[in-house]
Structure 1
Amino acid sequence: MRWHSENRRTPGVLCHPSDGEAWKHFDRTYPDFASEPRNIHFGLCADGFTRHSVAAAPYSCWPVFLTPYNLPPEMCVVTYDVSTKSNFNMRASLMWTINDFPAYGMLSGWMTAGKLACPHCMENSKAFTLKHGHKNSWKMKQAFRKNKTENDPPPRTLSVEEIWGRVCHLPKVTEVAPYRLHGYGVEHNWTKQSIFWELPDVKGKTKDNPKARLDLKEYYKRPELNLQDRLPKRIWKPITEISLFFKYLCSNTLTVENLQRMEQNMPVITTKLEKIFPCGFFDVMEHLPIHLVQEARLGGPVKTRWMYPFERTIGKCKKLAKQRSKIERSICEAYLAKETTHFCSYYFGEQVSCMRNRPNHNDKGGVDPNYPPMSIFNQPGRGEHSQFVKDIALGPGNEVKTMKKCIINGYKFQTEEVSHYKKTNNSGVCIKGDADGSGVTVDYYGVLQEIIQLKYPGYPKKTITLFRCKWFDPCQRGKRVNRQHNVIEVKHTRQYNLYDPFIIAQNAKQVYYAPYPLHRDKVDWWVVIKTKPVGSIEVDNALDMAYKNDVPVVHQTVDTKL
């Protein structure tokens, strides 16, 4: 519980919520609370779902989850501290809520619909209703909007006192029946006072349609987009820039310097997108990325505040509902039974298989803590060192096991043969190595051809998993890097000319390759997209020096050419 206080990061680096400005501001405001690092900082998540997956049902269930942020990122309360053998008075604070955008509007009191949907811009939003599409569209720049020049600065961020001054007189839903407040939708979007002030895409739909093209003609100086068959071809650059923006934003580690550059780049990227897509596309969800950098600066890395883990947990809760007439009670009883059995499992011996010692489904096989994590013989039950060395010296046995699928280090690998006809391709492999003997490490990219498992004699059982790969040429003729967009390309028609196909499976990382479908001059090139392991967090330590968690480099400004 003291991890966040005893493991301070370098100034300007954000890899935990305690590095964010909101946490630091809370500590400055309440020094008595901050003086005890074991006091808990919570994040609250709530989201609703309808019973039995009936979308039109008037009744919905809203589970509430509390997440403690004191623990280190790779871990996930009692008032007795075992490490110091002392008691202390534990206190708790709620740092923020975690919701999707519609649920945010229901919990905060600021409705996220209409022209004033943005909770940052509030009444300063310049959204307008399209004449033909009848949708709300957010403001466009002077090069795109007809007869309109935009020179105003961004809206000012309100302080906590100013926001409280606006909501302190609003009614609470717990005290009065809901009703429409005066000025709603014109002067404000407040619907209630949130209780947190006083705490102890659909398939088959498109925004590009004939009405959208009529709105383009009505509002914007872009005749080449008016009711034509297709969009311009050269749209990959802003699409790439917005993709990299979210990639950097979702990194495990953020820096203040990168966040400042991203904040400068985002308005330029939005302007370039406005030159491409119809105005009906720009609803509040396309407007919100402008404010995401500020939220990351306040709350730290996005991974600690997004909805993905809670959505998965809510999905599991729905499966626990066996009694359809009393869904909440059914979920609570099933969850308590699960927690009780998990707690009781701590009294079992290690030889008893239970939820506590069950291997993660993303990393099959047992793990012996006596071995380093990257050891190729990380199997339970290590014998004497001398006998162990003798068994290895005898070499592997004559029997070889081949596989087409393998789950290791949180990655699910499949051979090229298995992945060929699938939508998801898991055969891409990346490993670091020395290119020319100079000591400079480079990334080797290839495709997995075969998975081989070797067995060594003796006890305990010792196995090694090898990957036989087809490697692409790592030199400039076979690999190139776009420094501006940090895009790596490999020429899949040019293979590595040396015979060195085998690697140890535990040293491999997974990548996948994306082709250029509309560029004939790039038909031989694939874009490399690196993935992250499931069920584990990459950290920097002496045992994993080859794969450090690199902090992304954000360019000062994106290409401003529109």
Structure 2
Amino acid sequence: MMSISHSTWPVILMVYNLPPWMCMKPEYRMLSLLIPGPRSPGNVIDIYLQPLIEELNVLWEFGVETYDASRNRTFQMRAALLWTINDFPMYAMLAGWSTKGKLACPCCNYGTNFRYLKHSQKMCYMDHRVFLPMDPWRSNRRSFNGKIEFRPPPPLLKGTDVFNSLQHVTNVFGKKQKKSNDGPWKKRSIFFELPYWQHNSLRHNLDVRHIEKNIVDNIIGTLLDTPGKTKNHVNARYDLKEMGIRKNLHPKDTKDGKRTKLAKAFVSMTNGEKLVFCGVLKTSKLPNGSASNISRRVQLDERKLSGYKTYDAHFMLHYLLPIPIKSILSDHLAIPLIRLSSFFRRLCQKVITFEGLDCLEVEIIETTNQLERIFPLAFFDIMIHLPIHLANEVKLGGPVQNRWIYPGERYMGTLKSFIRNKNHPEGSIAEAYLVEECLTLCS
């Protein structure tokens, strides 16, 4: 998509036994591996990670003799890998669980609620009523999928459950044992070679940055009816007709049979409303360094927003989008979207309590069900489903700021500045990194 001809993959280790305001700083990061390009390593990434896993095993079982400058003596240092930080497509390579298709959610696992949309030709992930208590919404057929929902929520998987289910799946070198019913498991994760990994409750983080970007894309594309981005298209209306729900939105053929009429949906805005929506973003003034100049991403004449970066989407979702949404849209649509914005803003706080997380967990379930009553089925891709699990991950791993990929992406920008030989970027990065480390030690 970005016309990049070469892709080099750095593997960076971050030290967590430091104060929270220090552990994500560039000076405390270690470049442990450089996986050469020009393409993504895919499932064979395990072969590149094998030396790192062996060293981590040594650090855990035996330790390494290390000098303590403060006490002027040596000690046996041990270390354990807590989790990995990566975007969702990379999740499939590291965990071995396919993040596409019927069972795309690694948290729900085999309990993922999926539906194939025949006309939109994609999977959607709905039926979020299973996460609700037994309240009237579970018996509301008309507003949801036309059925009463009695199923309990899927149980949370333990590391031991994953480890046991992986015994018959691909081993570390890609040799698949002869057994059927592998399901969505693509391979066995190499991290289970670590003896403590199966007892780890949080192994691979869901990247909040990646989820926010995709949610903003879906919301803006649908509200502004951007071609190729909107989820409120003709095929989405035919999917509603096939399911027999929201009859007022079903497409209707004209008398001559040559055209199809589409009724106005809640998520549709008039041209004047789109102009106001874009105008608010166009005239917004942001603090220096908080995001890029979002006004450059707004095309008022075409009434669309494009080309914004990941951190722009983060800032818009937290602060900007609720302003035009509240002033333009009806409360029926505006309230769920504002609640979604509030959820991510509070989730990303530096200080958060367990009581607050319990409230967020309940709120995001209610918000997702409210959205399910309004937006077309094609809107609910896997990124709309994943926020259901984010509050629980904060309970297990702590604040989002120490578990998302923003610091790593900024550091990769530093690594890119080291490149002098574009034909062999790995050599330039490794050489510059070693020189910088030596200069830091000498100083």
Same fold flag (TM > 0.5): yes
Deviations 1:82-116 (A, max 9, x none): 33444211001000000100001111100110110
1:166 and 2:161 are equivalent in the alignment: no
Deviations 1:134-177 (A, max 9, x none): 1111123544334311111110122222211111232235243x
> Given the superposition, is the C-alpha separation of residues 84 and 237 from structure 1 closer, same or farther in structure 2, using an over 3 Å criterion?
same
Deviations 1:509-548 (A, max 9, x none): xxxxxxxxxxxxxxxxxxxxxxxxxxxxxxxxxxxxxxxx
Partner of 1:155: 154
Could you state the TM-score of these two structures normalised by the residue count of structure 1? Answer: 0.48
Partner of 1:112: 99
Partner of 2:81: 94
SS of 2:80's equivalent? strand
Structure 1 unaligned regions, length at least 5: 1-49, 347-562
Partner of 1:209: 233
SS of 1:246's equivalent? helix
8 Å CA contact 2:144, 2:372 repeated in 1: no
Give 1:273's aligned amino acid.
L
- 1:469-488 matches, cutoff 5 A: none
1:74 paired residue among 2, 17, 21? 21
Partner of 1:453: none
SS of 1:218's equivalent? helix
Partner of 1:321: 419
Farther off after superposition, 88-97 or 140-149: 140-149
- 1:415-430 matches, cutoff 5 A: none
1:183 and 2:218 are equivalent in the alignment: no
Structure 2 unaligned regions, length at least 5: 29-64, 130-140, 196-213, 222-227, 251-261, 268-328
Give 1:63's aligned amino acid.
P
SS of 2:91's equivalent? helix
| 2-structure distance, mates of 1:274, 1:179 | 41
1:124 and 2:111 are equivalent in the alignment: yes
SS of 1:150's equivalent? coil
1:228 and 2:271 are equivalent in the alignment: no
> Given the superposition, is the C-alpha separation of residues 180 and 298 from structure 1 closer, same or farther in structure 2, using an over 3 Å criterion?
farther
SS of 1:237's equivalent? helix
- 1:298-309 matches, cutoff 5 A: 298-309=396-407
| 1-structure distance, mates of 2:95, 2:358 | 27
| 2-structure distance, mates of 1:338, 1:307 | 23
8 Å CA contact 2:361, 2:388 repeated in 1: yes
Residue 127 of structure 1: CA displacement? 0.2
Deviations 1:436-460 (A, max 9, x none): xxxxxxxxxxxxxxxxxxxxxxxxx
Deviations 1:42-78 (A, max 9, x none): xxxxxxxx9xx645x5x63211000011110222399
SS of 2:90's equivalent? helix
Partner of 1:445: none
2:187 paired residue among 183, 192, 199? 192
SS of 2:84's equivalent? strand
Partner of 2:348: 250
8 Å CA contact 1:133, 1:215 repeated in 2: yes
Residue 275 of structure 1: CA displacement? 1.4
8 Å CA contact 2:144, 2:373 repeated in 1: no
Q: How many residues align?
A: 288
8 Å CA contact 2:115, 2:125 repeated in 1: yes
| 2-structure distance, mates of 1:79, 1:300 | 29
> Given the superposition, is the C-alpha separation of residues 169 and 111 from structure 1 closer, same or farther in structure 2, using an over 3 Å criterion?
same
1:62 and 2:86 are equivalent in the alignment: no
> Given the superposition, is the C-alpha separation of residues 256 and 143 from structure 1 closer, same or farther in structure 2, using an over 3 Å criterion?
farther
Partner of 1:278: 376
8 Å CA contact 2:114, 2:124 repeated in 1: yes
8 Å CA contact 1:225, 1:231 repeated in 2: no
Deviations 1:471-519 (A, max 9, x none): xxxxxxxxxxxxxxxxxxxxxxxxxxxxxxxxxxxxxxxxxxxxxxxxx
Greater strand content? 1
| 1-structure distance, mates of 2:427, 2:177 | 31
Give 2:86's aligned amino acid.
N
Give 2:342's aligned amino acid.
L
% identity of equivalent residues:
42
| 2-structure distance, mates of 1:219, 1:91 | 57
Greater Rg over alpha carbons, structure: 1
| 2-structure distance, mates of 1:79, 1:268 | 51
